[in-house]
Each structure stands twice: as C-alpha cells, then as structure tokens.
Structure 1
C-alpha cells in the first residue's frame, strides 16, 4: 500500500479519529496536572495571586497564555489527523499574536521610555525561561505520545507544533507564579522559552514521530 493510500484510509477511519481525540485530551489534562503540581512543589503560587489577577497586566498575562495554549493545542490536534486542514487553526494563532502586539504597544504608550528596558528585562528572566521549559516537559511528553497514536504527515513539523502547544501550556502554569507582569517581559522571555520548547519538539518529532 502506498503512503498516500494509507493516509486516505486513516483519514476515513472514524474510530481512529475518536481514539486519537481521547488520547490527546487525556494527555493535555494529565500533563497540565503534573506541571501544576510541579509548580506547587518548586515555586508555589504567587502570594497575592487573587488580588494581582484583578490588575490589567496580570489579567492580560494569564489571559494571553491561556489563549495561546488553546490555539496552539488546536493546531497540535489537527496536525495529528491526516487530511484535516491546518489553515483554520494556524489562522487562530493570529489572535494571541495580535493581543500581544496590542499589549506591548499599550505598555510603550503608558510607560516612560526610561522604564522600557527594566520592564523588558524584569526581575527573573532566566528563571522564566528555565521554569517554562521545565514545566513543558510533561505536556511535551504527553503530546508526543498522543501524536504517536496518530499519523502526522510531517514528523518534524508535528513535533514543533507539539512543542509550541507544550510551551504555551507551561506558560499558563508559570504565569500563576511569575512576578514579572509587563507585556514587554512576556513578549521577550515567555516567547523565548516557548521558542526553545518548539525547537526541542521539532527535534523529538523528527526522531519519534516517524511512521
């Protein structure tokens, strides 16, 4: 059987699709729980989280990471289904991207120029990159496992998407601790960590998602 024929067969196999959906959702749920517990035993939640979450910056940071996690996970779900178009999910990624641009522009408009660099660097940039990467290990493991149950056409690309979703999920968890709230900080260090996890996912996908 040719590869294209096998892809078409898998595309039409509804039970396979349903099984992948279940494995995918379970992987995200379990890995998020693992990452959250890991956050609790390492850093803990932000002490004033409930109060801080009512401020625009913190609400924006948490909302942005949640939106990126949702849209990134949608891409990962679709890439595991041969024949399902990625374009709608990829276009949805424009939502968190646009929100981040608006947040950064708003920050630059209200913060004096002398404070731009301190806002960008924040207090714990290295910790942000390290812990987002650390907290992404469980989601990345889960999503790679889920995608191995599917049939991604491009292993490296599928791995990169799994990395993107995993980094975004980890960012959601880390945001519950992170004391650096500036959109400039988020645009720099959160995205740097997510890019790192995306690259790692591409390398893992190339090796582990072949079929």
Structure 2
C-alpha cells in the first residue's frame, strides 16, 4: 500500500473513531487540570487582591494571552491528530495570543519611562514563574499525550510541541492567579520561557509517544 493510500485509510478510520478520541482528550485535559489545581493549592496560593485586580488591564491581559494560547493551540492540536487534515483557521489563529501580548508590551513601553522597563521585566518572582508554569502544565501534557496515542499525527514531534503549548497556556493561566508581576514585559520574558519549555518537552515526548 502506498503512503498516500495509507494516510487516506487512516483518515477515514479516524473519522469513525473521532468522537471517542474527542471525549478522551477532554477527559484527559480535565483530569490534568484537576491535578494542576491541586498542585496550585498545595504549593501556591491565589493572590489576596485577585478580585480587585480584575479591572487592571495588565492583570487581565495575562489571562487573555495564556488562555487564548491554550484555546487556539487546542484547536490546532485536534487537527494534527488527523492524518491529512488541514490546519484551517487554527494555524493563523495561533498568532492571536502573541499579538495581544505584543500590544501590551508596546503600551507598556509607551507609558513607562525607559528606566522602568528593566525592573518591570525582571519582576520579583521570575524563578518561581519558571518553576511553576512547567510544574502546573506537566499533568495536562501527560494526559493529552497519553490518550493521543489513539490518533495518527503525520508529524508526531509537531503534534507534541502543540500539546505542550496547550498545557503551557493552561499552566500559565493558573500561575497568573498567583503571580503579582503584572507587567507585559514580565509575561513576555518569563511566561514565554516557561511555555516554550513545555513545547520543547512536548515535542521530545511526542516524537516518541505519538510515533506510528
């Protein structure tokens, strides 16, 4: 059987199994989220002024960026598990979260004097951020990759990297509820590193777990 014929056969078979895989992915994400929230409750805590900060642009932007990344990455990840599937709108949509962050960074650079840029980027909890985002993201990534073995991605490493973005976005949003560093410059520097690390871990794991 030729490679193209094999891909078409797997794609047709995937359509019949897709509802089951969808449910498994949702269940895995929810279970991973429960573990992540339990980890958050054990080692971190919600910032005391969480509700009062809901009117602050920079505070809300952290959640818009991280959850936006998680949502668009999830749509793209679902596509990558189907052989021969096109990314559709989900490929371009992946730039929405980075663009939103870029707007926030641009605004920060415009309204703050240059001598405040570096302190805003360094913040007070960079080390905690770098440890917490992967820690909170890992159970979600493990769950997604575990159930995704029933899929048939053409590019396992790419699929794993996108799964890492999904998990990293969710983990970043959870951590944002604790983080008192609200500057978009801080998010650009440290959240990005934490989420990129999860994408790298996902790519490495995906190349092994999702290979077929």
Cα RMSD between the aligned structures? 1.3
Partner of 2:31 in structure 1? 30
Q: What secondary structure is seen at the aligned counterpart in 1 of 2:115?
A: helix
1:122-137 correspondence to structure 2 within 5 Å: 122-137=123-138
Asked if structure 2 preserves the Cα contact closer than 8 Å seen for 1:27 and 1:139, the reply is yes
Partner of 1:162 in structure 2? 163
Hey, what's the Cα distance between the residues in 2 that align with 1:146 and 1:75? 16
1:1-211 correspondence to structure 2 within 5 Å: 1-13=1-13, 14-211=15-212
Hey, what's the Cα distance between the residues in 2 that align with 1:206 and 1:133? 19
- Structure 1 stretches of at least 4 aligned residues deviating more than 6 Å after TM superposition: none
Asked if structure 2 preserves the Cα contact closer than 8 Å seen for 1:10 and 1:16, the reply is no
Query: What TM-score does the superposition give when structure 1 sets the normalisation length?
Result: 0.95
Hey, what's the Cα distance between the residues in 2 that align with 1:192 and 1:117? 17
Deviation at 1:146, TM superposition (A): 2.5
Asked if structure 2 preserves the Cα contact closer than 8 Å seen for 1:133 and 1:194, the reply is yes
Asked if structure 2 preserves the Cα contact closer than 8 Å seen for 1:140 and 1:162, the reply is yes
Deviations 1:65-108 (A, max 9, x none): 11111011111111111122124211001211111110000010
Hey, what's the Cα distance between the residues in 2 that align with 1:178 and 1:81? 37
Q: What secondary structure is seen at the aligned counterpart in 2 of 1:12?
A: helix
Q: What secondary structure is seen at the aligned counterpart in 2 of 1:49?
A: coil
Hey, what's the Cα distance between the residues in 1 that align with 2:207 and 2:176? 30
Deviations 1:2-55 (A, max 9, x none): 443332123223321111111111111221121112101110111111111221
Query: What TM-score does the superposition give when structure 2 sets the normalisation length?
Result: 0.95
Unaligned runs of 5+ in 2: none
Hey, what's the Cα distance between the residues in 1 that align with 2:38 and 2:78? 24
Asked if structure 1 preserves the Cα contact closer than 8 Å seen for 2:161 and 2:203, the reply is yes
Unaligned runs of 5+ in 1: none
Hey, what's the Cα distance between the residues in 1 that align with 2:208 and 2:192? 24
Hey, what's the Cα distance between the residues in 1 that align with 2:169 and 2:2? 36
Number of aligned residue pairs? 211
Q: Which segment is superposed worse, 13-22 or 173-182? A: 13-22
